Amino acid sequence: MPPKNPRVTIRDALKNLEESNFRDFCDELAKPEGKPRIWPSDVEKKSRTEVMKVLVSRCSSGAVDRAITTLRDIGCNDEADELGEMDLHSCHSSQRCATRIFPAQTWARPLITTLCMDKLKHRLLPVAPNSKRTKLKHKSIKNRVALLITNNTFTELKNRPGAEKDEENMKELLSTLGYEVVKHTNLTAKKMENALDDFSKHPKLKETDSVFVVISSHGKLGAVLGVNHKPDEPDELKVDDIHDKLNVKSCPALVNKPKIIIIQACRGKETGSALVEADDVAVREIDEDVLRYTHKEKDFIALLSSTPHTVSYRHSLRGSFLIRFTVDVFEANLLKDHIEDLFRKVMKRFEEGKELPDCRQMATKDRCTLTHHFFLFPGDLKQ
């Protein structure tokens, strides 16, 4: 008799568990010391079908082995044996097609993005002739580039434990999306400005379809703080300057290309909570012989971690909620949603407030001047 596929095997094993054993199983899975990490919100108060889907989605990252061990720990050896006989081959078959798989995270499911263009196009809706999507080609995706700046160690302000997790997870996300990541850590405002200057001259910008700029630091309304910031000696990079470095005047190579900016930093001063810490300081190519006017600032969209005058929250071990929610949303929806809808779904996670029961934070879309829908993996890619 051929072995059953993972979905059927896991479903049957969970179905055979008594209710008390099933709840013990979910509680053990959610413990943070287990590897691969399974986030509590994935299994707590979930049905057997929902837990089965989580285990199937993480089959190739070791979740089934974790489930088998957990079942034995709670004395359910028959169900553990049943999982042990499972055919894991189908968990790995998608990797034949250049699948990029995130390593196990400490706070989220692994991100699985299949970059096989034949399969990708079949998973997307066909593009209508008059569609307002940004049209891309393989060459532009191969030349994607992103800037990632993370400040976690400061001379006078509080350090930002957990920011290194943001850096790790965002780098992995951008790499999976095909972006070469230019990474900087612990910069003063002047060095952040220099990094933006250098990035605006990156040789790949001429061919890329888009850029990401992600900055994580302490902040205040209208500015990101450098590592040497002091109350009497400001070390500040204005958010306006970030946009100015990438606009048509400073960076003509990015004309008509989406420029996606994500900033994890406070925009005001309010108290945090016991659970978390608050960052609470406050033209494709322009012809040389043709002169024409174009919009100085166009095709931008920014996602800021909070509304004006309010703080942003960050878990000291797992990183900020903004980066965590962004990775989760991109994981689940990047093949079907454009960037504005992705950001809207990140905001929805803040609205629901399940992971922040004792505090409130609302991410904010800012300065959106996109005139077309930008899909990170659009359906009109040409072979």
Q: Which residues contact 39 (CB under 8 A, 6 or more apart)?
A: 30, 107, 108, 109
Question: Residue 6 pLDDT > 80, yes or no?
Answer: no
What's the rounded Cα separation, in Å, for the pair 329 and 348? 10
Give the predicted TM-score (pTM) of the model.
0.57
Is pLDDT above 70 for 181?
yes
pLDDT tens digits for 64-97? 888 888 898 888 988 888 888 765 555 544 333 3
Which sequence positions are flagged as catalytic?
218, 266
**What's the whole-number mean pLDDT along residues 55-61?**
70
Q: For position 87, what pLDDT does the model report?
A: 57
Which domains does the chain show, CATH number per domain? 6-94 (1.10.533.10), 128-366 (3.40.50.1460)
**pLDDT at site 279:** 52
What average pLDDT does range 289-310 have in this prediction? 71
Q: Please provide the DSSP assignment of 239-255 as one string.
A: HHHHHHHHSTTT-GGGT
In contact, 320 and 303? CB cutoff 8 Å: no
Q: CA-CA distance, 111 to 131, in Å (whole number)? A: 28
- Mean pLDDT throughout 205-224? 92
- For the chain, what percent of residues have pLDDT higher than 90? 25
What are 357's two structure tokens?
């029961």
At residue 212, does pLDDT exceed 80?
A: yes
Q: What is the pLDDT of residue 33?
A: 73
Selected residue with higher pLDDT from 131 and 73: 73
Query: Which of 188-197, 229-238, 298-307, 372-381 is least confident?
Result: 372-381
Give one DSSP letter per residue of 168-180, joined into a string.
HHHHHHHHHTTPE
pLDDT at 215 over 90: yes
pLDDT score at 271:
35
> Which stretch of 108-122, 132-146, 360-374 has the lowest confidence by average pLDDT?
108-122
Residue 117 pLDDT > 60, yes or no? no
Give residue-wise pLDDT tens across range 306-355: 878 777 777 777 788 888 899 889 888 888 889 999 999 999 988 877 76
Kindly tell me if the per-residue pLDDT of 357 is higher than 60.
Answer: no
Q: Whole-angstrom Cα distance, residue 74 to residue 14?
A: 13
Residue 116 has pLDDT above 80, yes or no: no
**Poorest-pLDDT segment among 22-31, 95-104, 132-141, 373-382:** 95-104
The mean pLDDT value for 262-280 works out to: 59
**pLDDT score at 205:** 93
Phi, psi for residue 378 in degrees, rounded to 5:
-70, 160
